[in-house]
Structures are given as structure tokens and as C-alpha cells.
Amino acid sequence: MAICHVPWVEKFGKFAKSILGEEFKLQVLHSHAGFYIGTKNEDGAPVSRESAEYFQDEKQAIKALESGEWTQRPDILS
């Protein structure tokens, strides 16, 4: 798995795009498993979990997103 180093303005979910063919902006989301980097649609519904890892708290997840120090989940469709 590769660590993602992409400028903030170009951060869109690769996994979501591979599944739906649309670009959704990366953001920090939360589930029962913890905080993660993912995407959601215009209605606020989660679309994809992009990060392989979960983070213990929101602050760690934000730092990872802003610095690019997180692991992109592999594309399971290729």
C-alpha cells in the first residue's frame, strides 16, 4: 500500500471514483470503528472509506489528511 502525498486541492477519493466514476472530496469521517479518511455525497451519506487505517481521534485523522501521511486502500476492482 502506498502512502498518499497529494496537494490538498487535488484530494479526491480514488476508491469512490473507481466504483462510481465520480469525484468526491476527501474528508475525515467517523464510524463505530473510529475515524477514517473517506468521502461522502452531497446529501452527507458516506460513499467510501479511502484510508486503510482507522485513527484513534479526529485530530489524528485531520493531521494525516492534511499532511498526506495515510495509506490509500487498494482498488479491489482491479
Q: Whole-prediction pTM value? A: 0.81
pLDDT per position as a tens digit, 2-45? 555 444 445 899 989 988 999 999 999 999 999 999 999 999 99
Q: pLDDT digit string (tens) for 60-73? A: 999 999 999 999 99
Q: Which of 31, 14, 26, 19 is nearest to 66 (CA)?
A: 26
Q: Where are the domains of the chain?
A: 8-67
Q: What are the beta bridge partners of residue 12?
A: 25
CA separation for the pair 23, 35 (Å, rounded): 21
Which of 67, 54, 63, 57 is closest to 4 using CA atoms? 67
